[in-house]
């Protein structure tokens, strides 16, 4: 842990990785199950998971031949705290946010 913000933000900049995090929000998952909805090789997903792990955004625990991935919220929360210092000066334009997020959530799992 104590991963620099560099790694956290870089990890979050990829839509596949954000989709993976969203999936892990629901439940812990094995690597194969994480990969299943994506049109990508297992090795590709494995790399993404390694990047998320390096950034501290997830933890991976091997149990038998299955490696379980679980969300590790502290890293993302630290980044949130850093970012919020920039938001406290203007009144929040919530409508703009919702429009903003709508774009991302309209295609919610970039699952494919």
Partner DNA sequence: GGCATATTCAACCATCCGGTTGACGATCGG
Partner DNA sequence: CCGATCGTCAACCGGATGGTTGAATATGCC
Show the binding pattern over residues 32-61: x = contacts DNA (CB under 7 A), - = does not.
Answer: xx-----xxxxxx-xxxxxx--------x-
Query: Taking Cα atoms as reference points, which of 75, 65, 69, 27 lies closest to residue 45?
Result: 69
Decide: residue 3, CB within 10 A, 0-12 exposed, 13-18 middle, 19+ buried.
Answer: middle
Question: For residue 35, which of 12, 8, 66, 57 has the smallest C-alpha distance?
Answer: 66
Nearest distance, CB of residue 94 and DNA, angstroms: 29
Q: Choose from a copy of itself, DNA, none: what does 5 bind? Cβ within 5-8 Å by kind.
A: a copy of itself
Residues 6+ apart with CB under 8 A from 107: none
65 binds, among a copy of itself, DNA, none (CB under 5 to 8 A by kind): DNA
Taking CB under 8 A as the binding criterion, the range among 9-17, 27-35, 36-44, 59-67 that sits at the site for a copy of itself is 9-17
> Applying CB under 8 A, does 103 fall inside the site for a copy of itself?
yes
Radius of gyration of the chain (CA): 15
CB of 85 to DNA, least distance (A): 21
Q: Which residues bind DNA (CB under 7 A)?
A: 10, 13-14, 16, 30-33, 39-44, 46-51, 60, 64-68
């Amino acid at each position: 842990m104590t991963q620099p913000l560099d790694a956290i933000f870089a990890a979050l900049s990829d839509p596949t990785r954000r989709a993976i995090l969203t999936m892990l929000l629901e439940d812990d998952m094995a690597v194969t199950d994480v990969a299943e909805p994506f049109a990508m090789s297992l090795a590709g997903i494995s790399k993404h998971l390694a990047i998320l792990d390096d950034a501290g955004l997830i933890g991976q625990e091997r149990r038998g031949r299955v490696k379980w991935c679980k969300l590790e919220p502290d890293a993302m929360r630290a980044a949130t705290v850093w970012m919020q210092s920039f938001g406290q000066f203007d009144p929040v334009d919530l409508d703009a946010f919702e429009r903003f997020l709508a774009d991302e959530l309209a295609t919610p799992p970039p699952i494919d």
